[in-house]
């Protein structure tokens, strides 16, 4: 846990409690024991230091997402996916190979949402509509999200969350916790 404390604790201490924390876990696991230990260490620090902070947990590894979801229900989990993009190395995991598979995985495991490369979503309106109809929160990521024009296109397309590096692009938007609350009220 020392390794994770070294990186996570200063973030919790130095950042305002009003900031949204988006933790993307990166893991190269050799076994499910490694995965379990990794997730336990991350959650240990988060539970100890988060207090009342708003946190979203996310990972490209579907097994890590599942483990995060099963081990706790305090913080929402987002499955990040390469989707059908040809820009990246094709994953051997079927849950990573298409947005449709990522959505099915996230829905069946009660995750908050899925995140995909913004170019895939913007280029395929049928895919975007299907993802938005799933009831999951749709996130996008990618270098194009730092381009104001692409951000505006996604806002117009009603993408829920746009992950980018430049805060000045965001404008005034609802945060993911408001989206989650709205989804819960619709389900009831």
- What pLDDT sits at residue 172? 55
- For residue 168, is it left (φ>0), alpha (ψ between -120 and 50) or beta? alpha
Q: What digits encode the pLDDT tens for the residues 67-82?
A: 999 999 999 999 998 8
- Cα angle: 165, vertex 94, 41; to 5 degrees: 55
Q: What digits encode the pLDDT tens for the residues 117-175?
A: 888 888 888 888 888 899 999 999 888 888 889 989 999 999 999 887 755 545 555 55
For 33-65, b where at least 16 C-beta lie within 10 A, e where not — what string? eebeebbebbbebbeeebeebbbbbbbbbbbbb
- Specify the pTM: 0.77
- Please answer whether residues 131 and 99 qualify as being in contact, where contact means their C-beta atoms are separated by less than 8 angstroms: yes
Q: What digits encode the pLDDT tens for the residues 83-127?
A: 766 676 777 788 887 889 999 999 999 999 999 988 888 888 888
CA distance 11 to 27: 20
How is residue 125 written in tokens? 């309106």
């Amino acid at each position: 846990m020392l390794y994770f404390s070294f990186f996570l604790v200063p973030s919790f201490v130095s950042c305002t409690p009003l900031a949204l924390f988006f933790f993307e876990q990166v893991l190269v696991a050799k076994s499910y024991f490694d995965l379990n230990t990794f997730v336990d260490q991350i959650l240990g620090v988060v539970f100890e230091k988060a207090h009342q902070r708003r946190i979203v947990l996310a990972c490209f590894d579907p097994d890590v997402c599942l483990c995060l979801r099963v081990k706790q229900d305090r913080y929402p989990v987002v499955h990040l996916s390469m989707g059908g993009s040809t820009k990246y190395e094709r994953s051997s995991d079927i849950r990573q190979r298409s947005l449709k598979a990522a959505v099915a995985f996230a829905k069946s495991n009660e995750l908050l949402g899925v995140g995909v490369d913004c170019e895939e979503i913007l280029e395929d309106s049928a895919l975007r509509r299907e993802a938005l109809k799933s009831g999951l929160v749709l996130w996008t990521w990618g270098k194009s999200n730092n381009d104001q024009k692409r951000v505006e296109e996604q806002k117009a397309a009603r993408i829920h969350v746009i992950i980018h590096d430049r805060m000045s692009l965001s404008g005034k938007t609802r945060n993911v916790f408001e989206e989650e609350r709205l989804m819960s009220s619709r389900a009831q």
